[in-house]
Amino acid sequence: MSPCLCGYSGGFMIDMKFIRENAELIRKNLQDRGNKLNLDELLGMDEERRKLIKKAEELKFKRNVDSEKIAQLKKEKKDADALIKEMKEIGDEIKKLDGELGVYEKKVNDMLLLIPNIPDPSVPVSTDPKDNREVRTWGKKPEFDFQPRPHWDIGEALGILDLGRASKITGAHFAIYKGLGAKLERALINFMLDLHIDKHGYKEIWPPILVNRGCITGTGQLPKYEEDMYRCDLDDIFPIPTAEVPLTGFHKDEVLEEKDLPVYYTAYTPCFRREAGSYGKDTRGLLRVHQFDKVEMVKLTKPEDSDAEHEKMVQNAEEVIQLLKLPYRVILLCTVEIGFSARKCYDLEIWAPAQNRWLESSSCSNCGDFQARRLNIRYRKKDGKTELVHTLNGSGIALARTFAAILENYQQKDGSVIVPDVLKPYMGGVDVIK
RNA sequence: GGAGAGGUGGCCGAGCGGUUGAUGGCACCGGUCUUGAAAACCGGCAUUGACGCAAGUCAAUCGUGAGUUCGAAUCUCACCCUCUCCGCCA
């Protein structure tokens, strides 16, 4: 294993063996995900790599044996010059082979980091997003005796949202919350955190929101999605696109105790996304801003528990929306839609009546051992052996679209917005924003 | 940013050019003893890769990378991280 320049030190070589032995499975996975990676190129480079390993290792064996002979000769005060001369030549040859080998290892590793996780059998196989499966819906879409207005109109009119002025201080696609809008955002954050901490048993973490390349390569956003991230070039660190990165990377290179699993973490953080490739899409209001707030949930579990823990996590996210009394649906994503690191993913979408559409507000993924392998997070079992943990992450939930959904679902004819009951204690007695 | 000290197996901690993948302790697993447990004693206990049906053989790994050497945990250089002191700063 030779770590790449970024300080990434995960155990990706395990992957290569699996890929070699399950080439067709991987090929199908790439196809199902609509991924164009050239698997044959990878397999070919791996074969070259292994040939070089074999050659180099044979020579190293000889070097080790003869070095011991030299030590023995010297001990007996005998002449070892001839052998030393021969070893010098072998040493040069080894160096040459290792150099070649390094080139292939780097190529293989670079490509391995681009192989996505293998979906769970319960995931619908399709390259068409239409084949996402609606699992359940909750709540009733509100009916208005007036034409409901979109959140950007409501927010601007109430003076709680400023969607234009941010271009003066940052650029397009950034939002400013003002007055009771800022307070509502803060109320949502606190409400969600308290729910997950006090009722669902998560431990609150307040992490760095700048992360290094190794950590974010471990969670899988790199190397594939580098253009979607902001980067601090001078230090090669990145503002996080989601708190999943620091929360999952928290235990990088650690061996956990079995009795300590599962681990539940939650954190509020802002999230930063360049949204490259989506210019002109959802440009209005809060739908696709480059900085948004999110409360995130992360779990580290034993492999046999991850599916059940995943379902529980989805319910934890659903409860947020239920308590806010917003209509939503749960979607099981098909193969082309699930994230790079995920083997199964549910999206929660909240109804936005003025736009007559669903807004994706949470994504709950089971990543299996994919991230754990890249981050080298294991746990020690009763028999003393170590095994990779499973990692899960889910939004609990994303704020911007929830904020938008509240404005649209709770709007009244006079332009005011009723504060959802559960948020009232967090709003200092304000029950209507007007 | 400057000056020092240090980074060794799950943890602690020896080693400072030639069977050292690495003494020892703790933890963990198995056993003896015990009514049971503890203690004591005995044994086991790193990871990854290549080859192999397998048993296994070989290679690599002592922060990371490069160098010196026939041979490096041990010597040299660069970088990263941790700690202490100084400076700067919210």
User: Cα(A405)–Cα(A151) distance, rounded to whole angstroms?
Assistant: 7
User: Cα(A231)–Cα(A233) distance, rounded to whole angstroms?
Assistant: 6
Are β-strands A254-257 and A377-380 bridged in parallel, bridged antiparallel, or unpaired? parallel
CA/C1' separation A343–B54 (Å): 34
DSSP secondary structure code for residue A129 in this structure: G
Query: What pLDDT score does A8 carry?
Result: 43
Query: What pLDDT score does A13 carry?
Result: 44
| Chain B bases closer than 7 angstroms to a protein Cβ | 10, 18-19, 28-29, 44-51, 58-60, 64-67, 69-71, 80
Question: Which residue is nearest nucleotide B18, judged by alpha carbon to C1' distance?
Answer: A71
Query: What pLDDT score does A427 carry?
Result: 97
CA/C1' separation A382–B49 (Å): 26
Continuous H helices in A177-280:
180-194, 213-219, 244-249
Neighbours of A62 (CB within 10 A): 14
Query: What pLDDT score does A125 carry?
Result: 97
User: Cα(A178)–Cα(A162) distance, rounded to whole angstroms?
Assistant: 7
Query: What pLDDT score does A211 carry?
Result: 93
Burial of A308 (0-12, 13-18, 19+ CB in 10 A): exposed
Q: In A218-262, where do the E strands start and end?
A: 237-239, 254-257
Local mean pLDDT, 10-residue blocks, chain A (434 residues): 34 70 93 95 94 93 90 83 89 91 90 92 96 97 96 97 92 95 98 98 94 92 91 89 95 88 96 84 88 97 95 98 98 97 97 96 96 90 84 96 98 97 96 96
Query: What pLDDT score does A15 carry?
Result: 74
Single out the catalytic residue among A27, A360, A380, A416. A360
Query: What pLDDT score does A258 carry?
Result: 86
Residue A273: active-site member: yes
Residue A374: active-site member: no
Single out the catalytic residue among A306, A361, A363, A395. A363
Query: What pLDDT score does A382 carry?
Result: 78
Residue A329: active-site member: no
Length of chain A: 434
Query: What pLDDT score does A26 carry?
Result: 93
Nearest nt to the CA of A388 via C1' is: B47
